[in-house]
A and B are shown apart, each in its own frame.
Chain A
Amino acid sequence: MWKWLHSYADPERAYKLAGKLLPWFSAIALGMIGVGSIWGLMFAPVDYQQGDSYRIIFIHVPAASMSMSAYMAMASSAFIGLVWQIKAADWAAAAIAPVGAVLTFIALITGATWGKPMWGTWWVWDARLTSELVLLFLYLGVISLYAAFEDKVLAARAAGILAIVGVINIPIIKYSVEWWNSLHQPATIKITEESSMPMEMLAPLLINILGFGVMIGAITLVRFRAEILARNGMRPWVRELAKAEGVK
């Protein structure tokens, strides 16, 4: 089984596999986010306290939870790249980083816009908000470290170590609302017990969370393919590909 997986460390095969997966990921992501957003924003019932303002949850929660998942995916790829020295894993980590950074930014902005009318403030330095801001800085650090070195093997090692060290922030974000008292409310979606939200609100939210996850996959595949081409520009198979597509 490991042999079979190993063959995809070859850049050409990884490039082709990513190309085959891309349309599926794109179609599923578009479908799920379309259904989840229209259902959530237009048809889900209003909240008894917040009225329509609560609907920002259908963007905020998927962006926030997926910003953490994207970080875990990036750190795992960086770990594999660092230990087994598989370049394709390093490229995958570099491809995910900006996607995760944008999601973190969306989560922070939507949270602030909701916080102003509901809490009465854009920002407060409580544990949840601060640790999510640290996550954004970690992403930016990984992106800039990878960009800072001309030698991409060295760049991937430096960025990979930062990504792995930053993993410690993920449980802190997740449990910040339980370990300390904060202005941010605890999680609504619970895995072990019943969620504190009725099904007609929960269903579109879950669809959107999954949709955001698949969307990260789709955008990462595009960036991963570009990264492979950029790192293998001198290889014969890339030159042939360029010739076939008529690029000068």
Chain B
Amino acid sequence: MNNRRKKRLALASALIGGVAAIASLLLYALNSNLNLFYTPTEIVHGKTDTGVKPEAGQRIRIGGMVTEGSVVRDPNSLHIEFAVHDAAGGEVIVTYDDLLPDLFREGQGIVAQGTLTDDGKLEATEVLARHDENYMPPEVAEAMGQSHQQMDYSEEQKAGSY
């Protein structure tokens, strides 16, 4: 390699190295702000690194698993109440008044957006189902005891409660 090529190689490598360093510092500084949602534990106990707790009235997203057996629905309207928990043990009650996505089930991962009320519940305006990375045919799922029931809505509920 002649000298000019060596110089260009050094410059190009320095460019890549510099950009990588800037990007990693930037991402490190932004770290927790790039998370899409709070976990229930973070809402109850505060974030692990900063201890910051979301306040009542704040608009936040919460992500976690719908606790088995916690779903309570109003038979006459779309109003639904369920608990969301995570592996670290936190649990937050979420209330919601609209149609849920197809994948919503007990035990399913979800992300809900809404305002935190004074009694620590989340009044959701949007509930999104979070799909995990597992794919399998129904026979296999049944053998593993993982068959999921879809939510069914009664005619009255479909007619709406507004």
Q: Given A83-B9, A168-B19 in contact, is the A121-B137 Cβ separation under 8 Å? A: no
Question: How many residues does chain B have at the interface if contact means C-beta atoms less than 8 Å apart?
Answer: 42
Q: How many A-B residue pairs have CB under 8 A?
A: 119
Contact of A83 with B8 in the complex, beta carbons under 8 Å: yes
- Whether, in the assembled complex, A117 has its beta carbon less than 8 Å from a beta carbon of chain B, the answer is yes
A48 part of interface (Cβ distance < 8 Å): yes
- Does the CB pair A118–B131 fall under 8 Å? yes
A4 within 8 A of B: no
24 A-B pairs whose Cβ atoms sit less than 8 Å apart in the complex:
A47-B138, A48-B140, A48-B142, A48-B148, A82-B12, A84-B5, A85-B8, A119-B131, A125-B36, A126-B36, A127-B34, A165-B15, A168-B19, A172-B23, A172-B27, A180-B34, A181-B35, A183-B63, A185-B131, A185-B132, A186-B133, A188-B134, A198-B136, A200-B137
A85 and B8 alpha carbons, distance in the complex (Å): 9
Residues of A within 8 A of B146 (CB): 48
Contacts of B20 in A (CB 8 A): 168
Task: Please pick, from A48, A182, A186, the residue contacting B136 in the complex, using a CB distance under 8 A.
Answer: A48
Chain A residues with CB under 8 A of B36: 124-127, 180-183
Instruction: Give per-residue flags for B12-25: 1 if the beta carbon is below 8 A from chain A beta carbons, else 0.
Output: 10011001100100
Q: Which of B37, B39, B101, B137 contacts A45 (CB 8 A)?
A: B137
Minimum-distance CB pairs A-B, first 7: A120-B101, A48-B141, A45-B137, A126-B36, A48-B138, A197-B135, A196-B134
Question: Is B71 on the interface with A (CB-CB < 8 A)?
Answer: no
Chain B 65-100 against A: per-residue CB contact (8 Å), 1 yes, 0 no?
Answer: 000000000000000000000000000000000001
Once A46-B138, A181-B63 are accepted as A-B contacts, the answer to whether A188 and B8 lie under 8 Å apart by CB is no
Q: How far is the CB of A48 from chain B (nearest CB, A)?
A: 3
How far, in angstroms, from A119 to B110 measured CA to CA in the complex?
Answer: 9
